[in-house]
Structure 1
Amino acid sequence: MLAALHRLSLRRTLLLVLLPGMLLVMGLEIVVSWRTALGAANAAYDRSLLGAIKSLDANISTASGGLSVELPYRLLEFFELTANGRVFYRVASGDGLVEIGNADLPAPPRPLVNGQPQFSDALYYGEPIRLGSYARTLDQPLSGGSNSSQVVIQIGETLESRQDFTRRLVMETLARDVLLLLAGVALLVAAVNWSLRPLQRLRQDVLQRDPQDLTPLASHNIADDVQPLVEAINHHVMRYRDAMEARRMFMDDASHQLRTPLTTLATQVGFALREPDPALMKQALLAIKLQVEETVRQTNQMLSLARADTTEWHMAPCDLVALAQEVTRAAWPQARQKQIDLGFEPLNEAHAEVNAHAGLLKEALVNVLHNALHHTPVGAKVTVQAGIEPVNSATGGARQAVLRVIDNGPGMSPEELAHAGERFYRGSSQVNGSGLGLAIAKAIAQRHGGALNLHATSADPTRPGLTVTLRWPAIFQVASEDPAAHAPL
């Protein structure tokens, strides 16, 4: 039921929620008004009935020793004119032995207390009447027929006038409440429509936009309750714009980077087709094979960079030591070809388990290690390190996950280090390559909330080497045989 309600428009939802509540409240108010009107009408007529009782009481006499009422008919005629109905009266002693008037009037439902009037509804010969009863102590006891010192006065009136007045009063009250209800409903509908106008303007703004317009929506003149929605839309628009920009950059980069190798391939193919000597043709084909392999590598690197920039992914526990060992073992054949001493060193005794994306980290380390093996000379030394280390080794504190590649090759000049990690930037020592390896590693480190750092391995200017470090916050714990190593990072 709630799910179906939420699928309705906001206007219908508000009206369906608010209108029944308003109708219920107004219905209760009408019931209360009806009861109040009845109470007010009865109170007014009961006061008039009490006035008639007091007037009749003032004309009661016991001077003769008996009970008499002077001029009761004139009083009753006047009261009948006031009440617009028939009036009945009864004056009796407390024991009922002496009675004047309509002796068969119903007795009051409760015992009378001297000086306190009592009003009740009754039937008199099958006709409903309103009965007022009053008792008081006589100034002197009656001398004959009764020894009671109390006199009881009752006056009853028919209900035509009372009912007519009550009907008019209730109808006027109901008419007033219905008008208030209609006015309230109209104001509610108007308020809901007026409150939703900013959403209508927002909808029109979105519908009228050019498909290429990815600027944020204006958030002024928008209700505070709608601001989070506008902010979420703007955030989504910015993410979409970034994705489109990344796609555009990828297309530009791909067209720029593939133009030269494809042109080279076309030239080499043409040369091979024109070469009659099989030996020279084989050399041309080998050159084409190398160029194709390099072009495939550049294409894969560009795809990896695009994936690192835009792909949605979730991090999971990852063992850095095992990952780095796997990448190092996979690079041993390439290292043996150049007689490079390739080794691995864990930064601690632990299996460094951190929160990361193993696939992207492997891609980053493969690119950094490939650069080191490619640019270091024959007989050089390359070391891969992995683990967790404190941000400040002197003070300890927070720890970071680390993947590091150290070589003792020619290194990079300070000017080259300042541009390292930029897309398609090639140092002076690079005769080939795409210049994307460090850019991929940098993008992956940044997506993990970290950074890529480069610095010279040693102070020897003839062979400074290069140390490339990927580091990001380590939020998992280090598993080790040492119990102290199980403390949260």
Structure 2
Amino acid sequence: MLAPLFLLWPMSVAITYVVAQHIADVPYDRSLANTVNLLAHQARVVDGKPALPMNDTLRQALRADETASLFWLVVDSQGRYVAGDRGLPLPKAASTVEPGVVRFDDDSLRGFAIRVAYTRVDPGTPADAQGPAGHLLTVLVAETGEKRAQLANEIIKGVIIPQFVVLPIAVLLVWFGLSRGVAPLNALQQRLRARRPDDLSPIDDRAAPTEIAPLVGAINDLLDRLSATVQTQRRFVADAAHQLKTPLAGLRTQAELALRDASADEMQASLRQLVTGSERATRLVNQLLLLAHAENPAAVGMTPIDLAEVAREHTTQWAPQALALRTDLGFEDPDGAVPIAGNPILLGELLNNLLDNALRYTPRGGRITVRVRRQGNYAVLDVEDSGPGIPLAERERVFDRFYRVLGTQADGSGLGLAIVREIAGKHDAVVRITDNTDSADSTDSAGSAGSAGPAADAGVASATPGTRFTVTFPLAPSLHKDTLLE
């Protein structure tokens, strides 16, 4: 803030000097013009020759004062001397000036800078009238620059000297104002520096100046978001550590049993339990890594993709598991592509977790259907099963990390649906859980028709409510425009 003042001051001095020179030239140029016009009016033709008779008024006008020297010269149209100071230089444009018009020029005489005023006049006519070109005289009056310099210096002193007084006062006032203004900022800086690294509490905006209240508010919003993120990570790490204790303890127990088992059969049983426990722990770790990847905004690269193609590809990959469980896994293909902006890898994991959840909770011989459709300006992914369903009171909690419905017999970590919601949120999608109303009807009709499908082979006797997971995505912009045009 102070540096610009010191930079502007030399600029102010330079501008003041130029303006002062101009102001000083104006009155003295006017005086020179009056003098040259007075000389021009005295020009005469005597005995056929141009002459300049002198009188008291003219002598008084041409008298030099104590400060500056005055010079004058009259020449004819051929440049021949008529009267005045022979050494006075003739301006280059003197022969082109209009009669009666006064022009000015800067030159030097005997090493001194001079200001020259000149005009042309016909000695047979008044100075402000044009006459025959053959008798035009050029009249010059020159003056040294002492008076002009003296006046310019007086003007500069009158402007600059007060600045020597005003500038230090202005600097002191600015410094004082800045010191008072930044004092709250310095105090805020000290408070922030004194904070512990884990202290993300909001800043007290009452101690901050009004001018930076929006900045403090934005910082507080950032601190709130950081605090929420840190709390989520801490809770996640604590939950993950707690969840990993059980499989790791089980692995150690099975390993110790295998070491103590005497018979080969007992050792084989312990080793099988060891393999099962390691698979469970591996799946839990993989899901933790996937969830961390989904939570990283920088890792989510969005590209235009066909939701139907992604769903079709990943549904096909689950066919062997469905056949092993004698589950009817179907895919309902939409009419045409369903483009959305998304990450194909994360969307594949979203569908994998929904299908894994459906296969775990659908009884053997049940039915699972994956459906992709368009609904207005949205793309909809449905995953339906004929499992036991999810109670209405539990449908929001099942998306919490490591949460599992009480009484659930199926194996799982409680992370699958949390991953589904996290990935859906990254795609501006919404996940809803409803009853699969088609589950009982399709099961009953399959049984009554004597179908040879898996459900009939399993002899499903009673209908289950089933579950439908519906994920609603916004359509890609291009498709959205086409829909509006239709």
- TM-score by length of structure 1 reads 0.66
Alignment counterpart, residue 424 of structure 1, candidates 402, 415, 426: 402
Tell me which residue corresponds to 1:412. 390
Residue number among 164, 174, 186 corresponding to 2:156 in the alignment? 174
Q: Is the 8 A contact 1:332 1:342 kept in 2?
A: yes
Give a deviation string over 1:36-56, Cα, whole Å, max 9, x none: 113335557988x89x99xxx
Instruction: Select which of 332, 339, 350 maps to 1:364.
Output: 350
Partner of residue 451 from structure 1, selected from 408, 430, 440: 430
Task: Give the CA deviation at 1:289.
Answer: 0.7
The alpha-carbon deviation at position 256 of structure 1 amounts to 1.2
Alignment match of 1:343 (pick from 309, 330, 334):
330
How many pairs are equivalent? 420
Q: Per the alignment, do residues 280 and 25 of structure 1 end up closer, same or farther by CA in structure 2, a change over 3 Å counting?
A: same
Paired amino acid for 2:404: R
Q: Kindly indicate whether residue 319 of structure 2 is the aligned counterpart of residue 332 of structure 1.
A: yes
Q: 1:123 to 1:104 in 2, by over 3 A?
A: farther
Aligned-pair distance for 1:450?
Answer: 1.6
CA contact 2:371–2:382 (8 Å) conserved in 1: yes
Partners in 1 of 2:324 and 2:103 — Cα distance? 121
Whether 2:266 is the aligned partner of 1:286: answer no
Deviation sequence 1:248-289 (CA, Å, 0-9, x none): 233212101101111122222222211111101111110111
Partner of 2:307: 320
Q: Distance in 2 between matches of 1:416 and 1:121?
A: 98
| Conservation of the 8 A alpha-carbon contact between 1:34 and 1:174 | no
1:469 paired residue number: 470
CA, structure 1 residues 254+104, in 2 after alignment: closer, same or farther (shift >3 Å)?
A: same
Amino acid at match of 2:414: G
1:424 counterpart SS class: coil
Contact 2:71/2:85 (8 A) holds in 1: no
2: CA distance, partners of 1:80 / 1:326: 110
The answer to whether the Cα contact below 8 Å between 2:434 and 2:467 also exists between their aligned partners in 1 is: yes
Mapping 1:51-62, distance limit 5 Å: none
1:437 equivalent to 2:433? Answer no
Which secondary structure state, in structure 2, belongs to the residue aligned with residue 420 of structure 1? helix
What displacement does 1:438 show? 0.9
Structure 1 residue 305: Cα displacement: 1.6
Matched, 1:40 2:27: yes
Alpha-carbon distance in 2 for matches of 1:289, 1:118: 110
- Return closer, same or farther for 1:267/1:43 CA change in 2, 3 Å cut-off: same
Shift of residue 415, structure 1, vs aligned partner: 2.0
Q: Distance in 1 between matches of 2:400 and 2:214?
A: 38
Counterparts of residues 190-229 of structure 1 (less than 5 Å): 198=182, 201=186, 207=193, 209-215=195-201, 220-221=208-209, 223=211
Distance in 2 between residues matched to 1:118 and 1:409, nearest whole Å: 107
2:283 partner amino acid: R
State the AA in 2 paired with 1:30: Y
Instruction: Using structure 2 for the length normalisation, give the TM-score.
Output: 0.67
Deviations 1:373-399 (CA, angstroms, capped at 9, x unpaired): 01111110001112x422xxxxxx43x
* Partners of 1:467 and 1:295 in 2: CA distance: 28
- Percent identity reads 26
- Which amino acid counterpart does residue 292 of structure 1 have in structure 2? S
**Alpha-carbon spacing, 1:243–1:413, altered in 2? closer, same or farther (3 Å):** closer
SS in 1 for 2:339: strand
CA distance in structure 1 between the aligned counterparts of 2:383 and 2:368, rounded to whole angstroms: 7
Q: Give the aligned partner of residue 453 of structure 2.
A: none
Structure 1: distance between partners of 2:314 and 2:106: 102
1:106 and 1:124 in contact (8 A); partners too:
no
- Structure 2 distance, partners of 1:350, 1:276, is 63
1:246 Cα offset (Å): 4.0
What CA distance in whole angstroms lies between the structure 2 residues aligned with 1:179 and 1:200? 37
1:389/1:80 Cα in 2 relative to 1: closer, same or farther (>3 Å)?
closer
CA distance in structure 2 between the partners assigned to 1:373 and 1:227 by the alignment: 52
Measure the CA separation in 2 of the matches of 1:200 and 1:87.
Answer: 66
Counterpart pick for 2:296 among 310, 313, 328: 310
- Cα separation, 1, equivalents of 2:351 and 2:483: 26
Deviations, residues 167-210 of structure 1 (Å, cap 9, x unaligned): 33221222344447765699589869967965974766655544
Q: How far apart are 1:402 and its partner, in Å?
A: 2.0
Q: Is the 8 A contact 1:385 1:404 kept in 2?
A: yes
- Residue deviations 1:89-135, cap 9 Å, x none? 9xxxxxxxxxxxxx95469999998xx999999999999899999x9
Question: Which runs of no fewer than 5 residues in structure 1 stay unpaired?
Answer: 1-10, 58-67, 90-102, 136-153, 391-396
- Could you tell me which amino acid in structure 2 is paired with residue 360 of structure 1? L
